[in-house]
Structures are given as structure tokens and as C-alpha cells.
Structure 1
Amino acid sequence: MRDYLMYLLARLAVLMGTIVVVWWIAGPGLISTIAAIIISALISYLTLRPLRDSATGSLIAWQERRRARSGKVKARTVKKGSDEDLEDRELDR
């Protein structure tokens, strides 16, 4: 989770820095803010790959630990006479 928070803070820092630079060049406004958001997304995509990969890995590990703690996945019950029940019976033939 720490890796995810670091990635989030890095993205926010890139966004704020880009907004400051774009506003300094073009002045504050809606169009310049939208341009800054798009530019910061591109910069983040190009420069923050190591942080993004580690954040993804830590989130996957967290999800696997959560699944392991919860045990088996609960089976979904299908009501008799429902469409799903009819489909299941047709597939079982």
C-alpha cells in the first residue's frame, strides 16, 4: 500500500507542477488547466513507470493476501427455474 501512496503523491506532484508551469506561461483559466492535466498525464505515463509497476505489484500482493485470509470463494446460488438454471441445464446435456 505504501508503494501505491508514493505513486499517488508523485502523480499529484507532477500535476501541481505542470499546472504551475502552464499557468505561468498561459495564465490561469479552464483551457490552460485542461491542457495541464493532459500534459501531466503524459509526463506521468512516461516518467513514473517504476513507481507504477511497484504500486501494481503491491496491490496484487495485497489482493492475494486478502483472498487467502478469506478462504474459499463463496459459491453463487442459482434459483431453480431462473434463466441461469435453464442455461445450466442446457449446457449439462
Structure 2
Amino acid sequence: MTAQQLSSDHRAVDRALAKLFAIREQLYDPDLPLEDDASNELIEREHRAIQSVALAKAKSVDALMEKFGLLSSELARAPVSRPVRLLAASICSDVQDLMNV
């Protein structure tokens, strides 16, 4: 996975959240009277938007995990000192533990 793909995953979360917030603004606006059909449609759109946010976040977490894995493997091959390798391995392990909670 490239840095370009990782950053585009991050933007996917932002886009999904923006869509969710736009739907919620319409749905919960007290000054905007909604018919039942329109209200039901917005509720369905809100549900799909919540699912999109969850999917985008899951992809971002996967991308983060892959990025740390790549960092660890690259540092293992690079001519860096042992303490730097141990620090990188420790950080990767900590991130993995946090993501698995």
C-alpha cells in the first residue's frame, strides 16, 4: 500500500462523516418540517451513512496496521542501530495491541 492510498483512505472517513452530518442536519432541523416519507428516507440514508463511516474507519485502521508492518519490515532490513529497530518493533506492537482492543 502506498502513501497515496493511505491518505485517500483518510479522506474517505472525512467524506463519509461529512455526508452523515449533512443528512443529520436535514433530519434534525426543527425549522424544516418533514413529511413522513421524507423523514423515513432520511432515516434510511442516515443508516447507510453510518455504515459507510464504519467501513471507511475499518479500512483506515487496516491501512494503519499495514503501514506499521511495512515500517517494521523496512527498518529490519535498513542499516539502523539495534535500539531504533527495537523502538520501531515496540511501537508497531503497541499499535497492534491498541487496534485489537
TM-score (norm: length of structure 1): 0.47
Using the size of structure 2 for normalisation, the TM-score is 0.44
Q: Between Structure 1 and Structure 2, whose CA radius of gyration is higher?
A: 1
